[in-house]
Amino acid sequence: METKTSSRFAELSLDEAPVINVAPPGPKSQELLDYQSKHESSAVSYPKGMPMAIKRGKGATIEDVDGNVYIDFFGGAGVMAVGHAHPDVLAAAHEQIDQSTHTLDIPTDARREMVSVLNDILPKELSRVFFGGPTGSDAVEQAIKLAKYNTGRHEVIAFHGAYHGMTGTALALTTDASHREGMGPLTPGVRFIPYDYSYRSPFGGPEDETDLRAADYLEMVLSDSHSGFAKPAAVILESVQGEGGTIIPSPRFLKRVREITKEHGVLLICDEIQAGLGRTGKMFAFEHAGTDCVPDIITMSKALGGLGFPISAIAYREELNTWPAGATIGTFRGNMVAFAAGAAAIRFMKDNDVPGYAAELGGKMLAELKKLESETKIVGEARGIGLMFGIEIVRDRKTKEPAADLTKKIRKYAHQRGVMIEAGGHHGNVARLLPPLIITEELAMKGVEIIRQVIKDVEKEM
Ligand SMILES: Cc1ncc(COP(=O)(O)O)c(C=O)c1O
């Protein structure tokens, strides 16, 4: 179970992975897990699916405290685009930490560098940026506030399967019942409509018309005075849905949503927190719909902080730049270390065409994963765009009955064999892969092979 990585970006990861010396969790991991479960909140979740304690990460590899080395197909929930401990990014962070770490929104060179890097990669229409708080949810809150402030309207349309975060309005925009239950009342005025989820078409099919029907539905609620919807401030959309199960909308769906929102004078917010910054093979996922499909506001976080330093931002059109000074404030308005690290990470991505690399490698990985659709009965669909994949696990391909229990098993066995993956989806039945974008082809293919084997083994046990 060892691979010598030799291709592009090989120097960024550990040489050998996976290496499982002791079945995880090993004794040192177990000690830390026990301490955590004794003293931390019962809400802690990731160690339940991947029982381990981490010593260090390097590139697309992670070593646990017992000396096991894993291939990281989880990427810190999509944060680690340039991989763990990227040397350029670490150097930038180290340099900044000796200069200044917290200046609110008073300018620094690091802040200017981040803004300038964002200007280089954003479409020219999104000329303004705002740093409103450290997490992705903060960016969503700010985007909605900006839309409300500029339109004087308060309703917002979001989509079935949406995940926008855990704070007040971001939670109200998030559909998963397990997060919403017991938390009400949530911010009022949020309405949900169908997304382009073709595998489980909310219209009962046909699959390849789900996109047009979903767009027509949006058109209907905005134009029919009896739809029960008030004219909203904004439509908020994940350009690719992440936690909802890696659901990849067609470019024509994104295009139609842009056209319809424009026609109706409704702002379009694209949430690029997970799918943005190279993940899908383009710098921003909405770019898959073409250059004329620029939203009014976008949200960014996750990979924006380089190596997981907390930061989030929105970018928006000039005409929305109406907030007077102090209209929305907060203590953490951009972390200097995150600025320096994030700017270095984005420069690395740009200079090395990391999105292009992700698109090419993602295509190869997907071709292998797709084979599972015919090799097994429990893979309903394997889908992917760039290095963002979802494997929909079902009890039977014909009935499409979701199989969350099998998905959990797949995640567990993959972890035991040295590959870390995520799980999500409407029914908890989508195995999700979000590897660092600098993963070598050898590690990527090795990880895919392990997952294929794990899925076949889980099927055999049924
Ligand atoms: C699309 C999207 N929006 C918003 C968020 C919330 O970000 P955070 O967890 O940093 O608050 C997430 C987190 O997974 C996300 O995937």
Long-range contacts (CB closer than 8 Å, 24 or more residues apart) made by 350-355: 350/117, 350/120, 350/121, 350/283, 354/81, 354/82, 354/278, 354/437, 354/438, 355/278, 355/280, 355/281, 355/282, 355/283, 355/386, 355/437
pLDDT single digits (tens) 369-411: 999 999 999 999 999 999 999 999 999 999 999 999 999 999 9
pLDDT over 90, % of the chain: 98
> Does residue 222's CB lie within 6 angstroms of at least one atom of ligand 1?
no
Q: CA-based diameter of the chain, in Å? A: 65
CA of 43 from ligand 1 middle (Å) equals: 17
SS3 320: helix
For residue 2, the model assigns a pLDDT of 45
For residue 57, the model assigns a pLDDT of 98
d(CA 348, CA 335): 20
pLDDT single digits (tens) 145-178: 999 999 999 999 999 999 999 999 999 999 999 9
d(CA 442, CA 14): 12
**How crowded is residue 4: how many other Cβ atoms within 10 Å of its Cβ?**
10
> Does residue 410's CB lie within 6 angstroms of at least one atom of ligand 1?
no
CA of 254 from ligand 1 middle (Å) equals: 20
> Does residue 159's CB lie within 6 angstroms of at least one atom of ligand 1?
no
d(CA 69, CA 21): 9
pLDDT band at 5 (very low <50, low <70, confident <90, very high): very low
Q: What is the mean pLDDT of the chain?
A: 97
Average pLDDT of 93-103?
Answer: 97
CA 36 to each of CA 51, 135, 386, 447: distance values in angstroms, whole numbers, following the listed order: 11, 23, 35, 29
Of all protein residues, whose CA lies closest to atom 6 belonging to ligand 1?
Answer: 165
Residue with tokens 């943005």: 276
pLDDT single digits (tens) 199-238: 999 999 899 999 999 999 999 999 999 999 999 999 999 9
Q: Which of 154, 294, 312 is nearest to 233 (CA)?
A: 154
Domains and CATH numbers, the chain: 10-78+354-460 (3.90.1150.10), 87-351 (3.40.640.10)
CA of 269 from ligand 1 middle (Å) equals: 14
For residue 292, the model assigns a pLDDT of 83
The dihedrals phi and psi of 326, each to the nearest 5 degrees, come to 85, 5
Q: Which of 426, 421, 380 is nearest to 247 (CA)?
A: 426
For residue 18, cis peptide bond before it (omega within 30 degrees of 0): yes
CB 425 within 8 A of CB 392: yes
pLDDT band at 3 (very low <50, low <70, confident <90, very high): very low
Of all protein residues, whose CA lies closest to atom 3 belonging to ligand 1?
Answer: 164
CA 147 to each of CA 13, 230, 295, 296: distance values in angstroms, whole numbers, following the listed order: 42, 15, 12, 9
